[in-house]
Amino acid sequence: MKKNRQPLIIGALISAALIISIFVVVYYKNNQVNVASDEQQSVTEANKKDTSVTDKPATDDATKPIEQPEQQPDENGYLPNQTLPTEPTYIDGILLANKIYPLPSTFAPDVNPEASQALEKMLAAAKQQKGFDLVAFSGYRSFEYQTTLYNNYVNRDGQAAADRYSARPGYSEHQTGLAFDIGERGKDDLWLTEEFGETPAGKWLVENAQEYGFILRFPQNKEDITGYMYESWHFRYVGIDIAKEIKKKNITLEEYLGVK
């Protein structure tokens, strides 16, 4: 009888071992699935946090809403007792320099390379298309040079008159390195005059400057906005797309930027 029971006992032990093995395997797999699920959830949460930070729009000086001055300009267009800033003003990436938003006295970028290349293309096109021999007779001006120039005009014409056509030190577009006074060679007597705008060369510039990224900075009948009298010779580089939009809408840089 004992011999007959031995196979049964062995079979029972084997069956028990198999059941225990199956239980262990199932437990192990379930535990691994739970661990994997926890890890995946952690990764998902981390990704959500990273995405929220990444998707948050960056804010810098070029995108911040511009603060409008609280004071009212004086009779010459300047804010009373205004001090020069420590940083230049950029609005939507565009450098602005006018009677309300001046430049630091230390701002000295020299001629902007991109603007210089665009200027060369424009002058070459005028020569090739129409035979106009145009020249930029004034470009970048340092703070120190503008000081001397402005003081000379004040001594000659008085401050009120000078303020209509010459910027005070720190307020000049020429200090940005993006502005150029343009005239026609051989017609120097028309340089810095409204009459230049009536010449074929002056008219060509007004009609075509936007194709090279330039705008007529101080157009006619806009002195109450720009702060300066009509200057048929003063062109400012802003880039082709922006120049075309300003030309199409027949507006000033101040109006385009929403500061006037």
Candidates 221, 218, 254, 227; CA nearest to 73 is 227
Cα distances (angstroms) measured from residue 89 to each of 80, 126, 159: 19, 33, 25
Other CB atoms within 10 A of residue 178 CB: 28
Q: Which residues contact 213 (CB under 8 A, 6 or more apart)?
A: 115, 118, 237, 238, 239, 240, 242, 243
The answer to whether residue 231 is catalytic is yes
Query: Among 231, 245, 254, 255, which one carries the catalytic annotation?
Result: 231
E strand residue ranges, 54-209: 89-91, 94-96, 134-138, 179-184
Q: CA angle at residue 119 from 194 to 140, to 5 degrees?
A: 75
What is d(CA 217, CA 37) in angstroms, rounded to the nearest whole number? 64
Separation CA 13–CA 22 (nearest Å): 14
3-class SS at 96? strand
The three-class DSSP label of residue 143 is helix
**What is the phi/psi pair of residue 24, to 5°?**
-60, -45
Write out the catalytic residue numbers. Answer: 231
